[in-house]
Chains A and B, each alone.
Chain A
Amino acid sequence: NAGVTQTPKFQVLKTGQSMTLQCAQDMNHEYMSWYRQDPGMGLRLIHYSVGAGITDQGEVPNGYNVSRSTTEDFPLRLLSAAPSQTSVYFCASSQGQQETQYFGPGTRLLVL
């Protein structure tokens, strides 16, 4: 039981490049979410999904897309990277939105 896995661990992008951050969970959780964490700020919700085929925007969705074709996977796509997207990205899964959130190890992204 691996829990929540994220790849890559680190990534450096140039402004304008696109990429996909991968997230997978093996706990059969319906609820999955993506957060970004910046210094001095709490985790902020980017997008979330309450089940396969259902996604919705969080607090800071601009510049990001998601899809949920299976229960296990919830990739986050950066369409055209900007320096403001330099951050640590965490994927989380849970039985429900108010339940214990299980976080992946994070992806550290630097956009130059």
Chain B
Amino acid sequence: RKEVEQDPGPFNVPEGATVAFNCTYSNSASQSFFWYRQDCRKEPKLLMSVYSSGNEDGRFTAQLNRASQYISLLIRDSKLSDSATYLCVMFSGGYNKLIFGAGTRLAVHP
């Protein structure tokens, strides 16, 4: 089983839609969690960190569920510019390294 698993998508949604991605992880020792965004043929960039209490940044909301070992990303009022691949990333204390998911592709259409 992969340490971090994401639905590869693509998620095709119209502008204005709400879309949610989940990411499951297998190592309960995972300490820190992040969502990165990667545009086509570009480098990944940090979108937001994920805190135990959940956190929101504008139209983006991230949640962590340690009991079920998953994190989620909710995007409200989708924009065309949200089209990208979203990478789930966690820091594994057990392995002392960052582990990247393969990404979920989002395509927002007019």
- Are A and B subunits of one complex? yes
A: residues with CB less than 8 A from B are: 35, 40-45, 48, 58-59, 90, 97-98, 100-101, 103-106
25 contacts between A and B (CB under 8 A): A40-B102, A41-B102, A42-B87, A42-B100, A42-B102, A42-B103, A43-B100, A44-B100, A45-B97, A45-B98, A58-B97, A59-B97, A90-B44, A97-B91, A97-B96, A98-B32, A98-B91, A100-B46, A101-B36, A101-B44, A103-B45, A104-B43, A105-B43, A106-B41, A106-B43
Q: How far is the CA of A103 from the CA of B97 in the complex (A)?
A: 16
Interface of B is mostly: strand
CA distance A101 to B99 in the complex (A): 12
Known A42-B4, A43-B44, A90-B43; contact A101-B102, beta-carbon cutoff 8 A = no
For the complex, is B42 an interface residue (Cβ under 8 Å from A)? yes
Q: How far is the CB of A101 from chain B (nearest CB, A)?
A: 7
B14: interface (CB < 8 Å): no
Q: Is B12 an interface residue (CB 8 A)?
A: no
Residue of A42, A43, A59, A101 with most partner-chain B CB within 10 A = A42
- Which residues from chain A contact B46 at a C-beta distance below 8 Å? 100-101
User: Top 3 closest A-B pairs, CB basis?
Assistant: A42-B100, A103-B43, A43-B100
Nearest chain B CB to A68 CB, angstrom units: 17
What is the minimal beta-carbon distance from B24 to any residue of chain A, in angstroms?
Answer: 13
Query: What B residues does A97 contact at CB under 8 A?
Result: 91, 96-98
The interface residues of chain A lying within 8 Å CB-to-CB of B8 are 40
Q: In whole Å, how far is B48's beta carbon from the nearest beta carbon of chain A?
A: 10
Q: How far is the CB of A34 from chain B (nearest CB, A)?
A: 13
- B23-41 toward A: CB 8 Å interface, digit per residue (1/0)? 0000000011000100001
Residues of A within 8 A of B99 (CB): 42
The residues of A that contact B87 with a CB separation of less than 8 Å are: 42-43
In the complex, which residues of chain B have a beta carbon less than 8 angstroms from the beta carbon of A44? Answer: 100
